Chains A and B, each alone.
Chain A
């Protein structure tokens, strides 16, 4: 029974691991910290998995546990707080599909998002992942109206970062 649960969980996570990697990339600044956070999220997901009843999608459930781990449970290392390796935090897309100008703009935008605080980053991340305002508000524990208001403010903040 336990073996089956392990297999089911690992297969699900393997399939949806991109979500966790994107969160790790959003909240950490170097490869070691990325791996540390990925591991902590995996442990928390596994600990919570027996309570996952399948009434929501595995991916939706993952967003909640993974973001909670990144925002609340994970303790950033001292080293990471002082590291800003631009290459590791940059937004990487398939190079041949885009011209330099577009890619440069995307990277600047991604860098601006990474300068936001933890909560704003979570809002932006869920928005980029195409989650509805209702889902965003439920995951963060705020009202839907406030999620919308906050998102409008974040857009203004980002505009200011990009056009000082």
Chain B
């Protein structure tokens, strides 16, 4: 007889030595707060969505709009903002829909898939905010430098015009700042989600491996 069969035959006999909780013990437990990873993922995701949205709102103060007015970029910016808010609402809707799909009554593989998909929505949104903000400020930066002389009404433009070397410096500094920022963000993600999702990802891979 194989070993597992031997354990199976005796399996039920351990029940007499299991702890026994009373009705009241169990009743008090149903009112306790959950500390599951889904709850943490939900809280962190909401904070991320809020910070990203507030970030775009606070960047646009009155001074910022005045500058855009002078550069004749106000209309374009308003258009970009409307589009970006529509995209943000779409992401929030996707996040909510995916979150609602998480159910402990699903099979293990579906449950894991749904949790990972909810996370992916927020991750994609953060990537979208970073990339679109990066592109937007690059364009605005370029146009500001180009139009600088027009705004300031400078006669000797030679001091204020970028030559090839200045452009190289500008791009390198911009690139370094961006790289440092992205690295810090990446490390933060590795830390938070490494802790929360490492085990889930490992188990999901194990289940999927079985299906090949």
Residue interface bits B42-80, CB-to-A below 8 A is 1, else 0: 000000000000000000000000000000000000000
Interface size class of B (residues with CB under 8 A): 35 or more
Query: Which among B33, B37, B106, B210 is the interface contact of A150 at CB below 8 angstroms?
Result: B210
Q: Is the CB of A71 within 8 A of B105?
A: no
B16: which A residues are within 8 A, CB to CB?
Answer: 93-94
Q: Does A59 contact B (CB under 8 A)?
A: no
Q: In the assembled complex, how far is the CB of residue A63 from the closest CB belonging to chain B, in whole angstroms?
A: 11
Q: Is the CB of A10 within 8 A of B27?
A: yes
Q: Is the CB of A106 within 8 A of B10?
A: yes
Q: How far is the CA of A20 from the CA of B7 in the complex (A)?
A: 19
B residues 1-40 in Cβ contact with A at 8 Å? 2-4, 6-8, 10-11, 13-23, 26-27, 29-30, 32-38, 40
Residue interface bits A151-164, CB-to-B below 8 A is 1, else 0: 00011001100100
Q: How far is the CA of A143 from the CA of B108 in the complex (A)?
A: 13
Interface size class of A (residues with CB under 8 A): 35 or more
Query: Which among B15, B18, B26 is the interface contact of A14 at CB below 8 angstroms?
Result: B26
B106: which A residues are within 8 A, CB to CB?
Answer: 68, 141
Tell me the B residues contacting A by CB distance below 8 Å: 2-4, 6-8, 10-11, 13-23, 26-27, 29-30, 32-38, 40, 103-112, 115, 196, 199-200, 202-203, 206-207, 210-211
Shortest Cβ-Cβ A-B pairs, 8 listed: A141-B109, A141-B107, A73-B36, A92-B17, A46-B30, A42-B29, A21-B18, A119-B206
**5 pairs from A and B in contact (CB 8 Å cutoff):** A10-B27, A43-B32, A92-B14, A92-B17, A119-B108
